[in-house]
Amino acid sequence: MNAGFNARGFYTLFAKEVRRFLKVTVQTVLTPMVTALLYLLVFGQALEAHVEVYEGVSYSAFLVPGLMMMSIIQNAFANSSSSIIQSKMTGNLVFVLLAPISSLEFFAAFVLAAVVRGLLVALAVYGVSVLFIDLPLAHPWAIAVFAVIGSATLGALGVIAGIWADKYDQLAGFQNFFILPLSFLSGVFYSIHALPGVWQQISHFNPFFYLIDGFRWGFFGQGDASVVISLSVSLGFLLMLSGLGLYLLLKGYKIRR
Amino acid sequence: MTTAISIQQVHKRFASLQALKGISMEVPQGSFFGLLGPNGAGKSTLISIMAGLARADAGAISIMGHDVVSAWRQSRHVLGVVPQELVYDPFFSVREVLRLQSGYFGLGRGNDAWIEELLETLSLSDKADTNLQELSGGMKRRVLIAQALVHRPEVVVLDEPTAGVDVELRQSLWRFARRLHREGHTILLTTHYLEEAESLCDEIAILNHGEVVTRDSKQALLARYPWRTLHITVDSSTFQLPEALVSLLTDADDNCLTFRLHRERDTIGEVLAALQSAGLTVVDLSTEEVGLEEVFLHLTGQSRGIV
């Protein structure tokens, strides 16, 4: 009796989540773009003359895809997680919970809105960067695929964290002690080949490394890992997190008593 | 009369607290049903299970014949809940939240006319484009009601709708609730204001410690408590009360006497005659019929002031 898909319900929730972050674009799009550009300015200026990661690719150019993916990771996560915890804390999540919206519709709406924000921020970083830096586009399909997978993955992780956290403090902990270190240690600023052996091995257990490496492969046609492996690991991570997020929603974990 | 809400053997436990202990009752379609009980009685838990906000450990609830678990989409379509807490989304205006809520229920712009009607009826038209953050508590309460009605549910749950609102708004909400009832909605009201339940409801259930203490029509419930109160002021504060009246006296303050009379055994005439024979002149007299509060306190074994 509950089969089917409440397409309008899903779309309304998705559109609401997009409109929510668009109402505060300075905070949700402009600020992350400026942050990424500051990294580019500081690290690019400091290391441009000393580091050449890939042959014929300037360090600043190398840095841009990494910063774009880091922006995707942090903003897609922030979008779904902050919206859910805010709705939980203020109590207005009840309006969605009272409606005939399934766990899948709920999950898809939040993840898709996170994808939109992730892509918008990445496009903003790209749009400003190409004014100063020459960036090749070796495999545009890979750029699009990894950008979508990356933002969906972090959107899903944001749903999980938003459901799990009982207060903003816990969410900040999740963001600062998990998302931020993993994104910084995933090859945003360097090739993992520049790391000592053991750290290279450890980096291969960081799922964010594959997102960034595959994304960067889309620009330069070269990366630290095979693009097939990067795609497989990234998709696997997305499916695993989606499964977990949907499971928590189906169980009503911390949102339905 | 068909059943709007059917509750069968519902159990719910939170850690060591058994919140609901096998609740069973039916709310007839078209009734104005009062669900009363002291804090912690299980009212909110029961409503949460009806609305899908909580899950029962055992038992079943159906709304207009739709099981809230196996047919949750249908049951939510026929149920509108006005939450007790004054919750709102700070990002949107009144009209925007109503359109969003309408969309969640699968309704498109075709529902806009009804949204405008709700805004008009609830005196929200001039605030329609105002952000919810900027509204007063009373206005936010009206928006909550509009949100609950946006998908035209047949059954409406008003969970403490007048808690913390001023007298004027309370009267206005009462009028609106009566209108909904007249228009054919089944209303389930939980309230701490027993005069509210007495004024609005035709059927009442009282919950206490997770169990239904009683469930009856309001008239039958009131009739079940056979006492009424008689206040008499006499012309003297020094007197000897006739022996026949001593057992009926519940309070004496100077020359004001309060008697508790049994509807069938005691008559006002007998009391007056006894006072007259004791040489006392009655200066003033008033009677007080039993209210729901007395019945509630009697059935839940509580004292006044902690309802």
- Average of pLDDT values for B230-236? 90
Question: CA dist A219 to A146, A203, A235, Å?
Answer: 11, 21, 19
Q: Which of A141-145, B141-145, B301-305 has the highest mean pLDDT?
A: A141-145
- Average of pLDDT values for B74-93? 93
The type of residue at B40 is: G
Same domain, B235 and B90: no
Best probe of the A interface among B62, B89, B152, by most A CBs < 10 A, is B89
Same domain, B259 and B199: no
- Give the CA count within 13 Å in the CB-facing half-sphere of A182: 17
Same domain, B231 and B214: no
Structural domain includes residue B165: yes
- Output the pLDDT for position B265: 86
Residue A193 three-state SS:
helix
Quote the tokens at residue A79: 């979008």
- Residue of A1, A15, A92 with shortest CB distance to B87: A92
Q: Mean pLDDT over all residues of chain B?
A: 89
Angstrom distance (rounded) from CA B128 to CA A25? 24
- Output the pLDDT for position A2: 63
Structural domain includes residue A1: no
Same domain, B137 and B250: no
- Output the pLDDT for position B301: 67
- Average of pLDDT values for A114-118? 97
Same domain, B215 and B232: no
Provide ipTM, 2 decimals.
0.90
pLDDT band at B217 (very low <50, low <70, confident <90, very high): confident
- Residue of B66, B101, B103 with shortest CB distance to A8: B103
Quote the tokens at residue B174: 């009462």
Alpha-helical runs (H) found in chain B? 43-51, 72-77, 94-104, 112-121, 137-149, 167-182, 194-200, 218-223, 243-246, 268-277, 292-300
- Output the pLDDT for position A9: 96
Phi first, then psi, for residue A69 (nearest 5°) are -70, -35
pLDDT of A24 higher than 80: yes
- Output the pLDDT for position B231: 93
Structural domain includes residue B247: yes
- Output the pLDDT for position A204: 87
Structural domain includes residue A196: yes
**B237, B185, B263, B243: which is closest to B29 by C-alpha?**
B185
The residues that bridge with B157 in the sheet, in sequence order, are B81, B188
The type of residue at B278 is: A
| CATH number for the domain that contains residue B242 | 3.30.70.1560
Total number of residues shown for chain B = 307
Same domain, B91 and B173: yes
Strand B282-288 with B256-262, pairing: unpaired
* Cα B106 to chain centroid, rounded: 31
Angstrom distance (rounded) from CA A219 to CA A224? 13
Angstrom distance (rounded) from CA A251 to CA A97? 13
- Average of pLDDT values for A116-135? 93
Q: Mean pLDDT over all residues of chain A?
A: 92
- Output the pLDDT for position B303: 46
Angstrom distance (rounded) from CA A249 to CA A52? 46
- Output the pLDDT for position B223: 78
pLDDT band at B304 (very low <50, low <70, confident <90, very high): very low
**A87, A108, A94: which is closest to A20 by C-alpha?**
A87
CB contact under 8 A, A257 and B100: no
Q: Which residues of B touch A100 (CB under 8 A)?
A: 72-74, 76-77, 104-106
- Output the pLDDT for position B302: 58
Structural domain includes residue A257: no
**B129, B146, B297: which is closest to B213 by C-alpha?**
B297
pLDDT band at A121 (very low <50, low <70, confident <90, very high): very high
Residue A59: give the domain boundaries.
7-251
CB contact under 8 A, B88 and A92: yes
Quick one: which H or E segment has residue B216?
Answer: strand B211-217
Same domain, B103 and B142: yes
pLDDT band at A1 (very low <50, low <70, confident <90, very high): very low
| CATH number for the domain that contains residue B42 | 3.40.50.300
Alpha-helical runs (H) found in chain A? 7-22, 25, 31-47, 59-90, 94-97, 103-129, 140-164, 168-174, 180-184, 197-203, 207-220, 227-251
Structural domain includes residue A240: yes
pLDDT band at B201 (very low <50, low <70, confident <90, very high): very high
Cα torsion B227, B233, B236, B239 to 10°: value is 0
Q: Which residues of A touch B50 (CB under 8 A)?
A: none
- Average of pLDDT values for A33-46? 85
How many folded domains does chain B comprise? Answer: 2
Structural domain includes residue B295: no
- Average of pLDDT values for A247-254? 95
Which of A23-32, A53-62, A132-141, A234-243 has the least mean pLDDT? A53-62
CB contact under 8 A, B48 and A257: yes
Between B228 and A9, where is the model more confident?
Answer: A9
Q: Which residues of A86-113 are buried (b: 16+ CB within 10 A; e: fewer)?
A: bbbeeebbbbbbbbbbbeebbbbbbbbb
How many folded domains does chain A comprise? Answer: 1
Question: CA dist A214 to A36, A188, B29, B278, Å?
Answer: 19, 12, 60, 104
Between A242 and B2, where is the model more confident?
Answer: A242
CB contact under 8 A, A100 and B103: no
Same domain, B140 and B269: no
pLDDT tens for each residue of B253-303: 888 999 988 878 889 999 999 998 888 899 999 988 766 777 777 777 654
Of B222, B242, B265, at which residue does a domain stop? B222
**Residues of chain A contacting B, Cβ within 8 Å:** 1-2, 4, 6-9, 11-13, 15-16, 19-20, 23, 87, 90-92, 94-102, 252, 256-257
Which of A77-86, A95-104, A226-235, B272-281 has the least mean pLDDT? B272-281
Residue B253: give the domain boundaries.
226-289
B58 touches chain A (CB under 8 A): no
